[in-house]
């Protein structure tokens, strides 16, 4: 610090009466600071000339470099595509079955599928497809399929989406059956997985299931689901009616939940991600859907 | 004028400070009112339906913007995860806009149609029931609170004053349109005549017998980012 007597002051002075004059020094700015400041001013002017900068009354100055955010984005995307072109071309050309036979290509496709699954599918199917706590979202890592577990069916499910329509059966909720009849149907459904407590009610439910209520039209004569069901004239394409005889439940195994499914109906919705989706819903390319189909098929239950 | 003079006169200093700041403000803001190219010409944009509008107000009330942005930036990683980058036109009816930059959760600019209503119901009730590692809080009261919308016409009138093109007919039919959109089975011919036939109409909260706050919030979420017809959009270099 320079001796205070040598430094110019601004002329402001306080407290002079007390004998301790408080003065404002007018020290010069440090050189390094001053020159950095001038440099930033010059840089700002250079920036205005090179890059888009100043708004004008109708438009803005475009800058000499012609740089634009959207152009850079387009180039980035193109470069990324070009980089993956060799392997992607093969995946695009070959059919799902052909890819599945080529082990290294399959591994490549599945690792891509795994990343996409994490972003788009895991919120409903759980990471790794193991399912989530909330009811209504099927596990994909088992061999219990609603619509089918072969590669082409899985592809179609992802591409076009699926809607499970289980009608309501209780009077007042949109159905035609009384409380007692719905209880009987519930009892019969529970008996299919050997959990019935009331054989007589299950017997009455059996009559309804295969008769008046026509549950077997979707769930199959044996109640083992629309893709396994043995009923003649069972609706095609598959309606996605679950197997009611096993331990895997879409909405939950609790008798009250089973009863709610029958009474009020269910409308599980698997969104479409490709050709079946509306414009902004086409979030995935055919190539990505292929990778996903191979990944899901490889989760454990592929057929 | 010496700075001594300015510093010793508070009114003069205030006036000169204001002048200086307004020059900066004018240079930055005024041209935006004239630049036509800041808002792209696109097909499909429409003002929010009454139900979506109340849902948007709930979104703001609950502070969802503290964790969620609604602005997909033109970067490849963002486009791959969230979809086409956001256009200025897509928020031209937003007062205030919800762009944000805080992303504790994912961007929601194109959340519309990504998930089913059933998923949103479970997720709003208890996010961890579908995404175990989620840090998003639960919003269980939305499903239980009946929607308040007596003042919907006023809300639309205020927006009309700041430039949202609500017609007199849309404002007059606001309550009817709101009720029609929140039900799966109602007659919605008026709604689609006034807002287009792409408006998703459903029993969003899964409770057919009441219009809850969740109905409104989900109606809003399910339309986000779905309006612009990108097949007709030509990217301009910007």
The pLDDT tens digits for A115-127 are: 999 999 999 999 9
**Residue pair B125/B226 in contact by the 8 Å Cβ criterion:** no
| Confidence bin at B71 (pLDDT 50/70/90) | very high
Residue A67 belongs to some domain of the structure = no
Residues B77 and B168 placed together within one structural domain of the fold:
yes
pLDDT attached to residue A231: 54
Mean pLDDT of A141-150: 90
How are beta strands A269-270 and A162-163 bridged, if at all?
antiparallel
Residues B21 and B73 placed together within one structural domain of the fold:
no
**What is the torsion angle, in degrees rounded to the nearest 10, for the CA atoms of residue A164, residue A167, residue A170 and residue A175?**
160
Residue A9 belongs to some domain of the structure = yes
Hey, are the CB atoms on B35 and A58 less than 8 Å from each other? yes
pLDDT attached to residue A56: 77
Residue A286 belongs to some domain of the structure = yes
**Residue pair A153/A171 in contact by the 8 Å Cβ criterion:** no
- Chain A CB within 8 Å of residue B115 CB: yes
- Chain B CB within 8 Å of residue A165 CB: no
pLDDT attached to residue A22: 79
Residue B63: CATH number of its domain: 1.10.760.10
pLDDT attached to residue A2: 44
Residues of A in Cβ contact (< 8 Å) with B31: 55-57, 60
Residue B238 belongs to some domain of the structure = no
Residue A222 belongs to some domain of the structure = yes
Please state the domain count of chain B.
2
Angle among Cα A248, A251, A257 to the nearest 5 degrees reads 110
| Predicted confidence (pLDDT) per residue in A184-205, tens digit | 999 999 999 999 999 999 999 9
Which of A298-302, B69-73, B179-183 is predicted least confidently? A298-302
pLDDT attached to residue A1: 44
| Predicted confidence (pLDDT) per residue in A1-20, tens digit | 445 557 777 777 777 666 67
Q: DSSP strand E in chain A: where?
A: 9-14, 22-25, 55-56, 59-60, 162-163, 269-270
Counting Cβ atoms within 10 Å, is residue B213 exposed (0-12), middle (13-18) or buried (19+)?
Answer: buried
Token pair in block for residue B196: 């287009």
Residue A6 belongs to some domain of the structure = yes
Residues B131 and B168 placed together within one structural domain of the fold:
yes
pLDDT attached to residue B235: 64
Q: Which of A13, A23, A134, A278 to mutate to test the interface with B (most CBs of B within 10 A)?
A: A134
| Confidence bin at B39 (pLDDT 50/70/90) | confident
Hey, are the CB atoms on B36 and A68 less than 8 Å from each other? no
Residue A303 belongs to some domain of the structure = no
pLDDT of B81 over the 80 cut:
yes
Give the three-state DSSP class for B146. Answer: strand
Residues A249 and A282 placed together within one structural domain of the fold:
no
Residue B85 belongs to some domain of the structure = yes
pLDDT attached to residue B173: 96
Enclosing domain of residue A56? 2-60
Give the span between the Cα atoms of B165 and B229, in whole angstroms. 19
Q: Compare A279 and A156 and report the one with higher pLDDT.
A: A156
**Residue pair A92/A100 in contact by the 8 Å Cβ criterion:** no
Residues A92 and A143 placed together within one structural domain of the fold:
yes
Give the span between the Cα atoms of A227 and A235, in whole angstroms. 10
Give the span between the Cα atoms of B190 and B196, in whole angstroms. 10
Residue A84: CATH number of its domain: 1.10.760.10
Residue B75 belongs to some domain of the structure = yes
- Chain A CB within 8 Å of residue B185 CB: no
Hey, are the CB atoms on B84 and A132 less than 8 Å from each other? no
Q: Compare A23 and B74 and report the one with higher pLDDT.
A: B74
| Predicted confidence (pLDDT) per residue in B202-228, tens digit | 999 999 889 999 999 999 999 999 999
Residues A119 and A55 placed together within one structural domain of the fold:
no
Hey, are the CB atoms on B130 and A280 less than 8 Å from each other? no
Hey, are the CB atoms on A280 and B84 less than 8 Å from each other? yes
| Predicted confidence (pLDDT) per residue in B98-153, tens digit | 999 999 999 999 999 999 999 999 999 999 999 999 999 999 999 999 999 999 99
| Predicted confidence (pLDDT) per residue in A213-237, tens digit | 999 989 988 998 887 765 555 555 6
| Predicted confidence (pLDDT) per residue in A152-181, tens digit | 999 999 999 999 999 999 998 889 999 999
Enclosing domain of residue B200? 50-223
Helix segments in A30-150, DSSP class H: 31-50, 69-83, 85-93, 96-101, 103-120, 122-125
Residues B129 and B15 placed together within one structural domain of the fold:
no
**Residue pair B68/B105 in contact by the 8 Å Cβ criterion:** yes
Of A55, A123, A279, the CB nearest to B231: A279
Token pair in block for residue B211: 């219009």
**What's the start-to-end Cα distance of chain B, in Å?**
44
Give pTM, 2 decimals. Answer: 0.90
Please state the domain count of chain A.
3
Residue A216: phi and psi, rounded to 5, are -65, -20
Residues B143 and B174 placed together within one structural domain of the fold:
yes
Token pair in block for residue B193: 């005549």
């Amino acid at each position: 610090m320079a001796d205070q007597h040598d430094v110019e002051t601004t002329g402001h002075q306080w407290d002079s009466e007390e004998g301790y004059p408080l003065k404002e020094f007018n020290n010069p700015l440090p050189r390094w600071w001053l020159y950095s400041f001038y440099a930033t001013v010059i840089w700002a002017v250079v920036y205005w000339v090179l890059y888009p900068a100043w708004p004008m009354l109708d438009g803005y100055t475009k800058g000499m470099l012609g740089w634009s955010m959207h152009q850079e984005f387009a180039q980035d995307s193109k470069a990324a595509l070009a980089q993956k072109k060799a392997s992607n071309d093969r995946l695009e050309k070959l059919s799902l079955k052909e890819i599945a036979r080529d082990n290294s290509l399959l591994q490549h496709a599945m690792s891509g599928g795994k990343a996409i699954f994490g972003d788009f599918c895991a919120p409903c199917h759980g990471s790794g497809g193991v399912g989530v706590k909330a009811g209504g979202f099927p596990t994909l890592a088992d061999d219990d399929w609603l619509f089918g577990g072969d590669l082409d069916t899985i592809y179609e499910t992802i591409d076009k989406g699926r809607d499970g329509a289980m009608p309501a059966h209780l009077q007042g909720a949109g159905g035609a059956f009384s409380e007692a009849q719905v209880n009987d149907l519930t009892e019969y459904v529970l008996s299919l997985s050997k959990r019935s407590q009331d054989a007589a009610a299950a017997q009455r439910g059996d009559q309804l299931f295969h008769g008046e209520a026509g549950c077997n039209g979707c769930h199959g004569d044996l109640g083992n689901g629309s893709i396994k069901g043995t009923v003649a004239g069972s609706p095609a394409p598959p309606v996605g009616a679950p197997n009611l005889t096993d331990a895997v439940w879409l909405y939950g195994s609790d008798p009250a939940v089973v009863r709610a499914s029958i009474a009020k109906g269910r409308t599980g919705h698997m969104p479409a991600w490709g050709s079946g989706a509306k414009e902004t819903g086409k979030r995935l390319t055919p190539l990505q859907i292929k990778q996903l189909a191979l990944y899901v098929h490889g989760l454990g239950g592929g057929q | 004028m010496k700075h001594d003079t300015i510093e010793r006169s508070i009114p003069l200093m205030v006036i000169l400070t204001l002048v200086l700041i307004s020059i900066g403000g004018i240079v930055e803001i005024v041209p935006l009112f004239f630049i036509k190219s800041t808002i792209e010409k696109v097909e499909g944009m429409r003002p929010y339906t009454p139900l979506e509008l109340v849902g948007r107000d709930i979104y703001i009330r609950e502070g969802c913007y503290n964790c969620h942005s609604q602005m997909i930036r033109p970067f490849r990683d963002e486009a791959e995860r969230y979809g086409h980058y956001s256009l200025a036109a897509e928020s031209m009816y937003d007062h205030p806009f919800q762009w944000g930059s805080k992303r504790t959760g994912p961007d929601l600019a194109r959340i519309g149609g990504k998930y089913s209503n059933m998923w949103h119901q479970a997720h709003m009730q208890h996010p961890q029931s579908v995404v175990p590692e989620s840090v998003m809080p639960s919003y269980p009261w939305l499903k239980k609170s009946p929607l308040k919308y007596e003042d919907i016409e006023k809300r639309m009138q205020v927006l009309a004053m700041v430039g949202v093109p609500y017609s007199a007919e849309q404002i007059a039919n606001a309550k009817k349109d709101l009720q029609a959109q929140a039900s799966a089975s109602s007659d919605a011919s008026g709604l689609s005549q006034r807002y287009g036939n792409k408006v998703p109409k459903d029993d969003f909260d899964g409770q057919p017998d009441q219009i809850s706050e969740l109905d409104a919030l989900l109606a809003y979420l399910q339309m986000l980012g779905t309006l612009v017809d990108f097949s007709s959009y030509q990217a301009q270099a910007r």
